[in-house]
Structure 1
Amino acid sequence: MPVFHNIADAPAHVAPFSHAVEAGGWVQLTGQMPTVPGAPDAPLEGGIAAQTQQVMENLATVLRGVGLSLEDVVQCRCYLTEFERDYAAFNTTYKRFFPPDRLPARTTIGVTALALGALVEIDCLARRPEAAG
């Protein structure tokens, strides 16, 4: 049976979803926006680097809430509204969150728009270490 997680310290929901859903040791995180936890109405700040930083911090918050970390991430899907303009700067910020020899599998997609006018959204799939063996 799936377990549906909602994390108190994570950003407020912007749609009907759970922050993460877990089944069989796999944990699928809902796409995170560059919103600040505890300030759901605050305007989105900065360009792609600042927004990517906040998204990655939000993913880390959700992972901590289920007892995992970014080290447990095996795959990310990234969505950029200004793909050609922001791709290089996005990569520079994104890669700081993972060791160079442990980068998750990844797909990055250019989209026409994201909720709240965000420039970036990222979802990910993590695996519990004890389930991987």
Structure 2
Amino acid sequence: MSTVFHMITGAPDPVAPFSHAVESDGWVFITGQMPFTGRANDSAYPDGIEAQTRQVMANLDTVLTGCGLGLTDVVSVRIYLLHFDRDYAAMNAVYASYFAPGRRPARTCIGVSGLARGALIEVDMVARRPAA
């Protein structure tokens, strides 16, 4: 069993010392992504939870694609919300559009007291590489 540390061209630069994803034995652990609109980790965030959710999902898709995977390979998701009560329903409405009903990953959503660079949302994922 080998471990691969992925840094994905085109994904936002990390805000701390970490890899975009780490793969071991077919499992791919995607680091939480922020809603940066560009590659630089000081890029602007879009306004509002809906736009930030879409941007985080786009950034996650970039990492997944860079690993040769897609959203259909995701088995687990963790979502961190800065304003849980205010943003939960609106985030869910956007999030639901990324996964087919009946094929949604396991998920945990957590309210937090702060996120990097003042983001409203951060999302990480676990994916499983299809068996050969």
Work out whether the TM-score is over 0.5.
yes
- The one-letter amino acid of 2:107's match is R
State TM-score, norm by structure 2. 0.96
Matched residues in 1 for 2:18 and 2:43: separation? Answer: 21
The equivalent residue for 1:114 is 115
Matched residues in 2 for 1:115 and 1:130: separation? Answer: 35
2:37–2:44 Cα contact (<8 Å) kept:
no
Q: How many residues align?
A: 131
Matched residues in 2 for 1:65 and 1:89: separation? Answer: 28
C-alpha distance after superposition, 1:9-46 (max 9, x if no partner)? 10111110000000000000000000023343332121
Query: What RMSD over aligned residues (CA atoms) do the two structures have, in Å?
Result: 1.0
The equivalent residue for 2:78 is 77
The equivalent residue for 2:63 is 62
The percentage of aligned residue pairs carrying the same residue is 60
2:38–2:44 Cα contact (<8 Å) kept:
no
Offset of 1:50 from its aligned partner?
A: 0.3
**Greater percentage in helix:** 1
What are structure 2's unaligned runs of at least 5 residues?
none
Q: Where do 4+ consecutive residues of structure 1 move more than 6 Å?
A: none
The equivalent residue for 1:91 is 92
State TM-score, norm by structure 1. 0.95
